[in-house]
Structure 1
Amino acid sequence: MTFAPPPETAAWRHLDSRAGFEVAYFRPLGDGHRVEGCTTAVEEGLTWIVDYAIDVDAGWITRRAEITGRSAARSRHTILESDGEGRWRVDGVPAPHIDGCFDVDLESSAMTNTFPVHRMRLTVDAGSEAPAAYVRALDLVVERLEQHYVRVPDEGPVRRAIAGLRPDGSCQRYHYESPSADFACRLVFDASGLVLDYPEIAVRAR
């Protein structure tokens, strides 16, 4: 199962829990990709900005993530590095609590759900655990987030109309669960493996 190459850029509008926008740019990096992006938001009366540059290898395993967060109270910066075998360093210090993870997942981003679906390349009805190095939006604290993906049949309409994007049967759908966050939903991805519809979180704008 293969995906189309990522577009040069994509964008998402936040939903429900916060107001804001995310824009990402995809660049070739050796056999892999660099994704550079920015998310701005208002959440519970607070404004924040998260900038990121994330490098993935040919198998879409995250190898490096440089993240900067800004709010009225402070600015923060952190760097995550992986050896590609599931061992991590955060700001140069070993981080055994996220060992065994292969993806970075940003609380601020809908884009980062791209990484596990590309990496796992699940067939219909197949599922897999996908624990991630999860970076909080306001303080950039790095946690372990347990996640599970099951690919479901590629049928049914996208829940929201998305300007400029017309699902044509190339969409993929996944049942997503995060037991630690007590959250589950149905994720819809386009032919490039980018989220189109993330219920309660974000919807593609471009």
Structure 2
Amino acid sequence: MAPISALWRRLDEPHGLVHGAISELEPTPDHPDGAFLLDGAAIGTDAGEDTGPIGEQEAPRPWSTRFSVVVDSRWQTRSCFVEVLGADGLDRVTLTADALGHWTLDGRDWADLEGCVDVDVSISPLTNTLVVARLGLDVGEERSVDVAWLDVPSLAVARVTQTYRREPDDDAGQRYVYADPTYGSFLFTVDPRGIVREYQGLFARVA
């Protein structure tokens, strides 16, 4: 697999840009069948906090992040590292998972994620690629999966049930509807390699 690189503009945040890349890793003792590395970075701003009387808020505060996700040859997540640099300094979190769905958070067993197969880094559409590749849905097919959802910039980690349904293809590529109980449903399209082209209301690929 040749390396893939993409750049997206945030549609919900005027200052947001997201970069992502996928490369294939050589076999190792931990991954004898090989693995894939998803690397990414992003910049954005968070909402300012209330500072006093009604209507007064801090200016939005800039932040930057970088992340890396290793998945095995079946696109099952084995590790995820995310680092955020914001107004309060540098913070980071590391998740690991084994083939049976046992997870650790910063080296501690994390039972809340037991059985999850995928990770979703909220700031990047790149992690949708690993679910699309792993599920291999046919048109009209729908699957629900429990994922380790990692919010950026807060670095909060939660278990979230997500549903993917493949819609009929169009000229833009393969189409999917994503849904979860908190944020609702969104239509997104991917190119022949599974890279998101447009994600309704959130991301548009620019390179």
Say whether the fold is shared (TM-score over 0.5): yes
Instruction: Determine the C-alpha separation between the residues in 2 that align with 1:73 and 1:89.
Output: 25
Deviates more, 1:88-97 or 1:44-53: 44-53
The 5 Å alignment of 1:56-95 reads 56-95=71-110
Deviates more, 1:30-39 or 1:56-65: 30-39
Determine if contact 1:86/1:102 at 8 Å carries over to the other structure.
Answer: yes
Kindly provide the amino acid, as one letter, of the partner of residue 96 in structure 1.
A
RMSD: 1.5
Whose strand fraction is larger, Structure 1's or Structure 2's? 2
Match of 1:19 in 2: 15
| 75, 93, 113: which one aligns with 1:98 | 113
Instruction: Determine the C-alpha separation between the residues in 2 that align with 1:142 and 1:32.
Output: 24
**Structure 1 residue 103 displacement after superposition:** 1.0
Structure 2's unaligned 5+ residue stretches are: 27-33, 48-59
Instruction: Determine the C-alpha separation between the residues in 1 that align with 2:14 and 2:125.
Output: 13
| Higher Rg of the two aligned structures | 2
* Secondary structure of the corresponding residue to residue 19 of structure 1: coil
Percent identity between matched residues is: 29
**Structure 1 residue 42 displacement after superposition:** 2.0
Kindly provide the amino acid, as one letter, of the partner of residue 122 in structure 1.
L
What TM-score results when the alignment is normalised by the length of structure 1? 0.86
Determine if contact 2:9/2:204 at 8 Å carries over to the other structure.
Answer: yes
Deviations 1:6-29 (A, max 9, x none): 643111110124531111122211
* Structure 2 residue 45 is the aligned partner of structure 1 residue 42: yes
Determine if contact 1:65/1:104 at 8 Å carries over to the other structure.
Answer: yes
Instruction: Determine the C-alpha separation between the residues in 2 that align with 1:129 and 1:6.
Output: 30
Deviations 1:63-111 (A, max 9, x none): 0111111101121111110102221111111111111211111111111
Structure 1's unaligned 5+ residue stretches are: 158-166
**Structure 1 residue 182 displacement after superposition:** 3.4
Matched length: 188
Deviations 1:129-183 (A, max 9, x none): 122111111221111121100111112x5xxxxxxxxx3xxx111111111x131
Runs ≥4 residues deviating over 3 A: none
